[in-house]
A = this chain, B = another copy of it.
Amino acid sequence: MHSNMDVVCREVGLRDGLQIIDTFFSTDEKINWMRQEAAAGISSIQACSFVPPKLLPQFRDAEQVAAAALEIDGLWVSALVPNLKGAENAAKAKVHEIGFVTSVSESHNMANVRKTTDQSLEEFKRIIELRDSLPEGQRFKLSSGLSTALGCTIEGRVSPKAVMALAEKFVAAGTDELVVADTVGYSGPTEVKNLVSDVVSNFGGEVDVMAHFHDTRGLGLANVFAALEAGCRMFDASLAGLGGCPYAPHATGNVVMEDMIFMLETAGLRTGVDLEKLVAVREIVARNLPNEPLHGMYVKAGPPKGFQQVSKLK
């Protein structure tokens, strides 16, 4: 875990949040957003996706955004890639971490990247080769996202056995990290606790384990807590819950970062984030995406009386 805090909270708004938004979020403002969040104490960010600009014009400035992110002191910078080509570009950009996502559900993977999971695994192995071809000090960390690990819009329920089997393959291939992802916000905390416990106990000794939830049905934070109970210490979230699902107009997408930080701090876990400063960063998102709903409860209610962040204790 690349942090001296108790938990790593990775901002994915710039990638998962912006991915479904057509309005181009200007490069300068993306950089502004990252800098302000880093100044608030966010230590890990998924800055962009290295995909063909024709496919997702939002990420046409991936190189510039990655370069700017890497200039921010102490910030761990990751990028998502759909294939080897993307990984090559991300590696050229010298990001610290490359994320490669495969859906546990075959039909979802086919719909998403037009590959069977076995074909995705083969592509992943080529990225492993790319990583291992680099001189030791220059290798990126490679992360395997287990998408639809807790349910799929095409297949419905996804069996934990299928998740474990795919995780096993990625670990055997040489991944550095597994991300258990409830891509479509289907699951509840009991399922999460069971699955993440299995992943942590089977693979936690060899690789890092992250969790990625969506708040589509209101269970995002309950699921984060469940994963925490299962031993996971790395979580994705986005400022203001940016990343709403296009099929559920008013539903938040990612877990709201501000609320998650509040929850973790009430648990006595140091996140390294200053909540007051973090909340102030919402203004950048609001200014650039005036038509997107900004989510979050902590921002409305404010801190409880006498509340002290453990991160701010000496």
Contacts and interface: CB of A to CB of B under 8 A. Distances in A.
A113 to B, nearest CB: 20
A262 B304 contact: no
A172 interface: no
A224 interface: yes
Interface string A20-40: 000000000000000000000
Nearest to A190: B267
Given A266-B187, A267-B190, A245 B157 contact: no
Q: How many copies does the complex hold?
A: 2
A117 B151 CA distance: 49
B191 A266 contact: yes
Nearest to A219: B263
A184 interface: yes
Interface in A126-158: 151-157
A80 interface: no
Interface residues of A, number: 52
Nearest to A154: B305
B245 A301 contact: yes
Nearest to A151: B304
Pick from A153, A188, A229, A263 the residue with the most CB of B within 10 Å.
A188
Given A225-B226, A300-B249, A217 B267 contact: no
B216 A268 contact: no
Contacts of A151: 304-305
A184 B188 CA distance: 25
A268 B190 contact: yes
Given A218-B297, A297-B217, A298-B218, A263 B304 contact: no
A275 to B, nearest CB: 11
Given A263-B189, A266-B188, A256 B218 contact: yes
Given A217-B304, A251-B300, 11 more contacts: A152-B305, A156-B306, A156-B307, A185-B301, A218-B256, A218-B296, A221-B222, A222-B225, A222-B263, A225-B225, A251-B301
28 contacts: A151-B304, A153-B305, A155-B306, A156-B304, A156-B305, A156-B307, A186-B304, A187-B266, A188-B262, A188-B265, A188-B266, A189-B225, A189-B263, A190-B266, A190-B267, A215-B297, A216-B301, A217-B297, A217-B301, A217-B304, A218-B221, A218-B259, A218-B298, A245-B301, A248-B301, A248-B302, A251-B297, A251-B301
